[in-house]
Chain A
């Protein structure tokens, strides 16, 4: 569905993306995880044709380049920087961009209503976007991305500032899109999101993809050991282990296990181990 080959992009002396290669299958949700400045947005911008890569190739749907309008029509983007008309209502915003995608008539009405529902803004559709809260604007930004039902979706931090309830609803909708065979690139700082939504996750830092795999595999390979903290007759102890169940058994056998805590490695730990830095600094 999407293939990136040796993508490179520099801004002056800053190398934003260095030698990025990636292949996504149809129906896959790919999480791009990385700290600020890792190069996630730059990657998205190259995929959608906003930025021309310094080197490398982008092939969408078996060869199309985003420089062609017909290829761009097959992509939906929720840019990280909000891109909505504050003086238009939510509905007008969505309908306008739908028209730019060539939708008209009945289809336009239906798709507009559908995507407003997708982000839970149906109630506020008649209000001007400038009266929306930050999270609502973010949701409108997402609605515009999905209105033309594109096979490839690029969602650049689409849920920043969105409350947990709306976020949950959006996740369910995204999962539905995935089940319908849409391919999605999802950038985020939130590992819970990546863990919940993504089939595969790429960990990015300084423009490089440090690792790319399923969440379980990443944790297994790069997460390090679980940490068991327990209190028994021998007192308080902290043990790093690959097999926490066995370790707990051992502590129990040693006698009088009263209380314990198990810290399993997560993507945060994966990131820390790969880069020596924390994901959110």
Chain B
């Protein structure tokens, strides 16, 4: 053990002396986490969330109610008026705003929106006309989800109010009668359903306005993550990502240092020393582990002190960090067998890590990525690493929920480590 510690201490000392390595391991993650934290929080006067130019061409109670709901939505910041204060946005204004990058997307509530919104069973689907900055596809995807959610929320309110609902049913029955083009079968069904529903509402005992029966049907938009509250602040997202970058830096750095031990000849000396190959690898692995956990601790401390990031559970966070570190120790070992020279190992290593980060949500949070990418992300340890860390910080994971990602991470770590250790070339030529 003394000898393993000597190896580890040597590696840590070398890391501290390697300015580039040190930068990527410690400073870059801090920069990343704070920078993107501020970006996500839409610093500089903009509200949080996606900036959305909204044009109301409908100007009905329905459209206004929808706008009010969006205004209250934390996910978007609405721009409704021209910047010079000369009135509400027109369609042209909105398009121009997006084109100039002043808004991520625009939405037009065309004439008839309010009516449609009030008649979910009839008259074709509710249509919102949206346009989006092509360079901000991720936000477009997210926007679609957000808009759908608030449209549904409007319907929910309708369903929850007996008087409103009966009013709506009455209007619908008139509509059905007047709609000549309606399919006979659909007309028959509606003629049966709408009056029956109205009857049901009429017979409901007084005071039961909240319609307990409907409550359970309420379309819930809770996120998959069983959020108690969701990330409280954007730093809860940017810091896990920063930690990932620090850990990727460690894995790459130590992986390259294994190669450089071989090319510089020091590996030969290690092999001549009275230590086993296992001890040599263990020393390197321990140094890598200590550095990754160190980076994580540093960032989490900074997040807590400077950005009010309060983990939901500190023990689970520790478990997550340890699992993530172990996974990347394995990946480090794997990276060390990918190149003969430091340059090639570094190049190939970073290429792999970058892909892992990209599909795993280390660059853009998975929530902003297209669905197929989130699925592909399952194969990336980065995805599970972020999930585990976020699970402990704001997703409110229970211990059992935490076991899943942690087990997957340890599996990744063991697999990569075994492959790396087996393929490791101990000498320059062999």
Stretch from A66-74, A229-237, A239-247, A271-279 forming part of the interface with B:
A66-74
> Of B17, B265, B275, which contacts A79 at CB under 8 A?
B265
> Of A50, A70, A72, A87, which contacts B268 at CB under 8 A?
A50
> Of B3, B18, B269, which contacts A87 at CB under 8 A?
B18
Nearest B residue to A49 by beta-carbon distance?
B272
A-B contact pairs, 21 of them (CB 8 A): A11-B429, A49-B271, A49-B272, A50-B268, A69-B275, A72-B274, A73-B274, A79-B268, A81-B265, A83-B264, A83-B265, A84-B266, A88-B13, A88-B17, A92-B10, A96-B6, A97-B269, A100-B3, A100-B6, A102-B2, A102-B274
Q: Counting CB contacts under 8 A, is B270 at the interface?
A: yes
Indicate the member of A49, A70, A97 with the most B CB atoms within 10 Å. A97
- Would A104 and B274 be within 8 Å (CB), given that A79-B268, A88-B13, A92-B13 are in contact? no
Chain B residues, CB < 8 A from A142: none
A101:B266 contact, CB within 8 angstroms: no
Chain B residues, CB < 8 A from A104: 2
- Would A99 and B6 be within 8 Å (CB), given that A72-B273, A88-B14 are in contact? yes
- A83-B269 Cα distance, complex, nearest whole Å: 6
The interface of chain A, by Cβ under 8 A from chain B, is 11, 48-50, 69-70, 72-73, 75, 77, 79, 81-88, 92, 96-97, 99-102, 104, 128, 144
Output the least CB separation between B284 and chain A (Å). Answer: 13
Output the least CB separation between A105 and chain B (Å). Answer: 11
> Of B2, B3, B7, B272, which contacts A75 at CB under 8 A?
B272
Chain A at the B interface: mostly helix, strand, loop or mixed? loop
The interface of chain B, by Cβ under 8 A from chain A, is 2-3, 6-7, 10, 13-14, 17-18, 264-266, 268-276, 427, 429
Nearest A residue to B280 by beta-carbon distance?
A100
Nearest A residue to B270 by beta-carbon distance?
A100
> Of B10, B272, B276, B427, which contacts A88 at CB under 8 A?
B10
B265:A86 contact, CB within 8 angstroms: no
Chain A residues, CB < 8 A from B268: 50, 79, 81, 83
B14:A87 contact, CB within 8 angstroms: yes
> Of B266, B272, B429, which contacts A85 at CB under 8 A?
B266
Indicate the member of B14, B264, B272 with the most A CB atoms within 10 Å. B272
- A142-B276 Cα distance, complex, nearest whole Å: 23
Chain B residues, CB < 8 A from A75: 272
A69:B265 contact, CB within 8 angstroms: no
B264:A86 contact, CB within 8 angstroms: yes
- A104-B275 Cα distance, complex, nearest whole Å: 16
Q: A50-B271, A97-B273, A100-B274 are in contact. List 7 more A-B contacts (CB 8 A).
A: A49-B271, A77-B269, A79-B272, A83-B265, A88-B17, A99-B2, A100-B6
Output the least CB separation between A50 and chain B (Å). Answer: 6
> Of A69, A81, A92, which contacts B274 at CB under 8 A?
A69
Task: Give 9 closest A-B pairs by Cβ, nearest first.
Answer: A99-B6, A73-B274, A83-B269, A83-B265, A69-B274, A100-B273, A87-B17, A81-B265, A72-B274
A48:B272 contact, CB within 8 angstroms: yes
- A49-B427 Cα distance, complex, nearest whole Å: 12
Chain A residues, CB < 8 A from B2: 99, 102, 104
> Of B6, B10, B14, B427, which contacts A50 at CB under 8 A?
B427
Chain A residues, CB < 8 A from B266: 83-85
A96:B272 contact, CB within 8 angstroms: no
Chain A residues, CB < 8 A from B265: 79, 81-83
> Of A70, A86, A128, A144, which contacts B269 at CB under 8 A?
A144
- A130-B275 Cα distance, complex, nearest whole Å: 26
Indicate the member of B2, B13, B268, B269 with the most A CB atoms within 10 Å. B269
Chain B residues, CB < 8 A from A88: 10, 13-14, 17
A70:B10 contact, CB within 8 angstroms: no
- A117-B7 Cα distance, complex, nearest whole Å: 24
- A150-B31 Cα distance, complex, nearest whole Å: 50
Chain B residues, CB < 8 A from A99: 2-3, 6
A102:B18 contact, CB within 8 angstroms: no
Chain A residues, CB < 8 A from B275: 69, 100
- A65-B271 Cα distance, complex, nearest whole Å: 14
Nearest A residue to B7 by beta-carbon distance?
A100
- A69-B2 Cα distance, complex, nearest whole Å: 15
B274:A101 contact, CB within 8 angstroms: yes
Chain A residues, CB < 8 A from B273: 72, 97, 100-101
A69:B18 contact, CB within 8 angstroms: no
Chain B residues, CB < 8 A from A87: 14, 17-18
Chain A residues, CB < 8 A from B264: 83, 85-86
- A86-B10 Cα distance, complex, nearest whole Å: 12
Output the least CB separation between A96 and chain B (Å). Answer: 5
Output the least CB separation between B426 and chain A (Å). Answer: 9
Nearest B residue to A80 by beta-carbon distance?
B265
> Of A79, A81, A96, A128, which contacts B10 at CB under 8 A?
A96
Output the least CB separation between B281 and chain A (Å). Answer: 14
- A77-B332 Cα distance, complex, nearest whole Å: 30
- A85-B17 Cα distance, complex, nearest whole Å: 11
